[in-house]
Structure 1
Amino acid sequence: MSSALSQITERVRERIRSEGVDLDRDPGLAARYVDHEVALYSERALGGSVPMLGDEAGAARRVLDALTGFGALQPLLDDPSVEEIWINAPDAVFIARGGRSSRLPIALSEGEVRDLVERMLRGSGRRVDLSSPFVDASLPDGSRLHVVIPDVTARHWAVNIRKFSRAVRTLSQLRENGSVTDSTAAFLRACVLSGQNILVSGATQAGKTTLLGALLDLVPSDQRIITVEDTFELALGQRDVVAMQGRQPSLEGAGEISLRRLIKEALRMRPDRIVVGEVREAEALDLLIALNSGVPGLCSIHANSARDALVKLATLPLLAGRNIDASFVLPTIAHTVDIVVHCERLANGQRRVAQVIAPTGAVSGAVVEADVIVDTRAGRVEWTGSVPQRRTKFAAAGQDPLTALGRGQL
């Protein structure tokens, strides 16, 4: 921030402190204060006592961002084309657009980075300090914040802000932008309407959360959805939804709420669908138990392929304790997971559904057997000609997977 903007910002802050006002109660008050101080500065500049402001409106906007928004990052947060923002050091700020990253000519100070993080965490009830050097939180617009501080990092605070596109909310929109083929979209629609248990897999930034949200958009409006996440990411609009997120322990090490606990609580809340934003650890066991109880569910998982997702899902429950073994986990996965949808991000930044498989219900050795329904061949995503062997749920809901895949109509 330039010297002129710093002066104006400090004068506004002094006025706020001296008058004891609360900007949260009157958002427009800050703008009025800023406009007044910018006008006073411009009058002094005309007299030659201070340098001129090249763009008064732009200066007022930057000062207002510093006071009530997130400073130099606010324009990036407001820009819908920016997908992610990260800070490696005060003078190393990066963004991702269209799946590709670039460095920005932004230089902050160590204090500005700390101040930004403190403001971002203010309404979340979460903290970051030496005793808790990691933090995940949601920003007011739904973006996900992740921060790591020294001495876990070598020197500087590392900040990541993952934004989620509000422009893409439906499967039809994913089909229109080429992320999913017509036949795959029609098949996934039939899967959701028939209450299939769906696992969405992929690497980081492959589009898992976007696809998960698009699938949930297809759930009939009279069904109750309970979502469980580490930090709020899914936005399902005005419908019968209860969203829950975990909680970090207090300074005394008490009060932590894990995903395992939330999944158990979700089953007591009359869910028609249970959704786990991302399965990472032992909560995979509780998810399998929930799905085995007959409640349809959807979740996402980090994996390199659809089959790797099944392997990982078979491994994570073992973290729950020594009394859990593969003789329980593998058959449970084979009988409860109906569909695995794998997403990928191409070199040009495009995201797409690259593969869909359907477990057959059988286990061979230590492998959950599955048929490949949709696959990528020679760079093209195509229906393989196979359909899920287990079609009881489809029939009960009046859905025909063969018709959906063959016609490719929504």
Structure 2
Amino acid sequence: MTPQQPHDLPDFESLALVDLEDSPLSAAPLAPLARQAPPARDAAPAAPATEPAPSSAPSTRFTDWSTITKIRADVANALAEETMPGSDEEDRRARAASLIGAFIDDEESRRLDSGLVQWTNAERRAITQAVLESLFGFGRLQPLLDDPTIENIEIYGYDDVLIQRTGNTFEQADPIAESDADLLSMLSFYAAQQSKSFDPAHPRLHMSLGPTARLYAAGWVVARPIATIRIHRLVDVTLTDLVDLSLMPSELARFLRAAVRAKKSIMVAGAQGAGKTTLLRGLINEIDAWEKLAILESVAELHLEQLGKERHRRLVPLEAVPGSGEKDANGRPIGEITMDDWARDTFRMNLDRMIVGEILGPEVIAMFEAMQTGAGSLSTIHAKNSAAVPERVVTLARKDGRVTEDFARRQVAENIDLAVYVDLVKTRNPWTGESSLTRRITDVTSYTPGEGGLVASTQLWGLQDGQITPKMSPEWMDDLRPYLDEEAA
């Protein structure tokens, strides 16, 4: 790989907060992520919360991907034909390993008949590992997902792959398929494992890659297949961790912690890559472990279930399901479960609060429902600045078409208690004089109904001399005092 010149991009990840927009899928069953103490500000990038098992990265990597693809297809077909009621992933992996060995023997017999050299034991182990990664991991993407220094993967065709490492340098990576057609086939295979479709009739794909990576891909309707993979390295994060990483001062963390525990509804806003999803995780992780939470997402991204029962004992993660190409009598895709469907179901779940993750479109209606309960919903949204948040919510609601502009504006004014804006702020190193972009909370605003059906906003925290400081107290400050007193005690 050839390093490229670093871009003037945020260096917050170099402080070990790798995922700020928002652990790779190892070959072994997933274990809960371990808690990490935040590193010192000048520390080198920390290791990921879970290290891949030594056996997951063999010293010999097999590069005959046509052989791997063939054996993978043979094993997948054999597994699909077998009926194994009650079997779990460990059973399927063990059965797959046995089948792989048999198919390797078959391939090797054909090689010997053709006068080719016999595979070494190391090559056989590498083939086995590569096929397992293709079946239960993500094939040629897996080594990139396993690399703790990689934050983003950008694909512009099978042989044009860029990786962005911590420190914000870009490198050209090796091809991840044999051709564009092979790349499309590979992504279609992984989509099918999650009951999603990626084909000429469904040329766009949103899906998770393991517990903390998110993929967007497009094919057939673009010149070459494209994909963007965001890898979220830090999941178990608290507001204290974010203070240590300079996202906010401790006084603001104390205020936000009290707002979460007082069940205020909070919208985290910012541009792409600003740190919205990590801040959302930090806020959610301040909720009492025994509160029953439902997490509604169009594409699973928060992955709080990886943290273990000690963090969230009563967690219900819910992801929208697109359904099949066939329609039912009402014209809906068979098997489809929308965010609205899940939102209705949650009223039968004995919840303490419902959290709707990223708001990109129709999720806004589910968010309104969550906030109307007064149980303290939390969400993220893209916005160019803090003042644009109410109109952004209204615009998404109007595009959905099910509510009026007045209704949407009233929901913002009456139900969003706080908007927390995360931005990329240019800072200068006093010792070297070098400038860089660093993630910071730059604004905290509260909303109330205004005159003429408009939204009245009050800035509670804002920037002064480059530092965020308190400006005013919210009308509902008394609701927070028991939790602030609790911390002080």
> Under TM normalisation by the shorter chain, which class is it?
0.7 to 0.9
Q: 1:119 aligns with which of 189, 194, 204?
A: 189
Offset of residue 354 of structure 1 = 2.3
Offset of residue 200 of structure 1 = 0.7
Q: How does 1:200-239 map to 2 (within 5 A)?
A: 200-236=268-304, 237=307, 238=309, 239=313
Offset of residue 181 of structure 1 = 1.9
Offset of residue 230 of structure 1 = 0.3
2:379 counterpart of 1:294: no
Offset of residue 145 of structure 1 = 2.3
Q: Which residue of 2 aligns with 1:139?
A: 209
Q: 2:253 aligns with which of 153, 168, 185?
A: 185
Aligned partner of 1:200: which letter?
A: V
**Residues 1:289 and 1:118: Cα distance change in structure 2 (over 3 Å):** closer
Q: Which residue of 1 aligns with 2:420?
A: 341
Q: Classify the secondary structure of the residue corresponding to 2:156.
A: strand
Q: Tell me the alpha carbon deviations over residues 11-56 of structure 1, each in whole angstroms, 9 at most, x when there is no partner.
A: 8569859998989745357668579969x99xx9xxx975999x86
**Residues 1:284 and 1:91: Cα distance change in structure 2 (over 3 Å):** same
Q: Which residue of 1 aligns with 2:459?
A: 372
The answer as to whether partners of 1:127 and 1:135 remain within 8 angstroms in 2 is: yes
The answer as to whether partners of 2:354 and 2:375 remain within 8 angstroms in 1 is: yes
Identity of aligned residues (%): 25
Work out the CA distance in 2 between the residues paired with 1:372 and 1:323.
Answer: 28
Q: 1:311 aligns with which of 388, 391, 394?
A: 391
Q: Classify the secondary structure of the residue corresponding to 1:234.
A: coil
Offset of residue 394 of structure 1 = 1.8
Aligned partner of 2:342: which letter?
A: L
Work out the CA distance in 1 between the residues paired with 2:404 and 2:348.
Answer: 24
> Where do 5+ consecutive residues of structure 1 fail to align?
none
Q: Classify the secondary structure of the residue corresponding to 1:307.
A: helix
Work out the CA distance in 1 between the residues paired with 2:74 and 2:209.
Answer: 27
> Where do 5+ consecutive residues of structure 2 fail to align?
1-59, 83-88, 427-435
Offset of residue 370 of structure 1 = 2.0
Q: Tell me the alpha carbon deviations over residues 141-163 of structure 1, each in whole angstroms, 9 at most, x when there is no partner.
A: 34222221122x1x211122222
Work out the CA distance in 2 between the residues paired with 1:63 and 1:261.
Answer: 37
Q: Which residue of 2 aligns with 1:150?
A: 220
Q: Which residue of 1 aligns with 2:445?
A: 357
Give the number of the structure with larger relative contact order, counting CA–CA contacts within 8 Å between residues 6 or more apart: 2
Offset of residue 173 of structure 1 = 1.7
**Residues 1:10 and 1:220: Cα distance change in structure 2 (over 3 Å):** closer
2:462 counterpart of 1:388: no
Q: Tell me the alpha carbon deviations over residues 269-328 of structure 1, each in whole angstroms, 9 at most, x when there is no partner.
A: 2321111112222442443244233232111111112221122123333345476232x3
Offset of residue 201 of structure 1 = 0.7
Work out the CA distance in 1 between the residues paired with 2:411 and 2:76.
Answer: 61
Q: TM-score, with normalisation over the residues of structure 1?
A: 0.81
Q: Which residue of 2 aligns with 1:5?
A: 64
Q: Classify the secondary structure of the residue corresponding to 2:411.
A: helix
Q: Classify the secondary structure of the residue corresponding to 2:268.
A: strand
Work out the CA distance in 2 between the residues paired with 1:18 and 1:183.
Answer: 58
**Residues 1:9 and 1:34: Cα distance change in structure 2 (over 3 Å):** farther
Q: Which residue of 2 aligns with 1:330?
A: 409
Work out the CA distance in 1 between the residues paired with 2:217 and 2:279.
Answer: 26
Aligned partner of 2:353: which letter?
A: R
Q: Classify the secondary structure of the residue corresponding to 1:264.
A: helix
Q: Which moved more, 1:23-32 or 1:337-346?
A: 23-32
Q: 1:270 aligns with which of 339, 347, 350?
A: 350
Q: Classify the secondary structure of the residue corresponding to 1:266.
A: helix
The answer as to whether partners of 2:254 and 2:484 remain within 8 angstroms in 1 is: no
Q: Which residue of 1 aligns with 2:483?
A: 399
Work out the CA distance in 1 between the residues paired with 2:402 and 2:69.
Answer: 59
**Residues 1:118 and 1:321: Cα distance change in structure 2 (over 3 Å):** closer
Q: Which residue of 2 aligns with 1:260?
A: 340
Number of equivalent positions: 392
Aligned partner of 1:176: which letter?
A: D
**Residues 1:138 and 1:115: Cα distance change in structure 2 (over 3 Å):** same
Offset of residue 121 of structure 1 = 1.5
**Residues 1:265 and 1:10: Cα distance change in structure 2 (over 3 Å):** closer
Offset of residue 330 of structure 1 = 2.8
**Residues 1:322 and 1:189: Cα distance change in structure 2 (over 3 Å):** closer
Offset of residue 249 of structure 1 = 4.0
Aligned partner of 2:441: which letter?
A: V
Q: Which residue of 1 aligns with 2:318?
A: 244
Work out the CA distance in 2 between the residues paired with 1:234 and 1:390.
Answer: 29
Work out the CA distance in 1 between the residues paired with 2:66 and 2:161.
Answer: 24
The answer as to whether partners of 2:242 and 2:248 remain within 8 angstroms in 1 is: yes
